Amino acid sequence: MNKQTTYRAIVIGASSGGLHALKRLLPALPADYPCAVLVVQHMSPHSDNYMTTMLNMASSIKVKEADEKEVVVPGTVYVAPPDYHMMVEADETISLSVDNKVNYSRPSIDVLFETAADTFGEQLIGIVLTGANADGAAGLRAVKNAGGYTIVQDPEDAESPVMPAAAIRLAKPHSILSLDEIIKVLLKPGFVLPL
């Protein structure tokens, strides 16, 4: 059965190996992409914004570090700043926080996914990519429970399979796909996704 849904936002979580995955995924998205994309990539608290700058230079879609109280709009990729949790508020603005680490991580994938699920519900796509811990598994389950569509990178395709495997176990996602297959899904007109 196919469900026709107008998706408004995509949340992506990645850890170890994530930069390489994002360097393939984000440049595939066009400048006029119809969704907002919010990304948590685990990184050192002392990182500068080199990763975001590099991804923006390589992509047609605008890639930027998220700002406090910024309104989430289509055609933009928002990357969580180092050492800040990124949340989506009910009014579809971004909130940044230095609250305690979740799953030993700040920014935490779970924090982003859970708040985005509360805000966007069934109009959200959640994607867990490569990584070496369990962050993102509970968040992806929250996306699914809110009616959103859930995708996990195939552990065999991931540079680090631990995070995808944890998400598969806990969230039982709709799709388990290679990175190339994930890109194809995100470029489908109208996002008619198999359930």
Helix axes 109-120, 137-145, angle to 10 degrees: 10
Active-site pick, 15, 16, 59, 160: 15
From 42, 108, 110, 160, the catalytic residue: 42
Catalytic residue among 135, 157, 160, 174: 135
Asked about 135 being catalytic, the answer comes back as yes
42 among known catalytic residues: yes
CA–CA distance, 116 with 95 (Å, rounded to integer): 11
Alpha-carbon radius of gyration of the chain: 15
The structure tokens listed for 123 are 């109009």
Give the Cα separation of 122 and 129 in Å (integer): 20
Residue partners of 19: CB distance under 8 A and separation at least 6: 41, 51
Length, in residues, of the chain: 195
Is residue 175 among the annotated active site residues? no
As a whole number of angstroms, the distance between CA 165 and CA 157 comes to 11
Catalytically annotated residues: 15, 42, 135
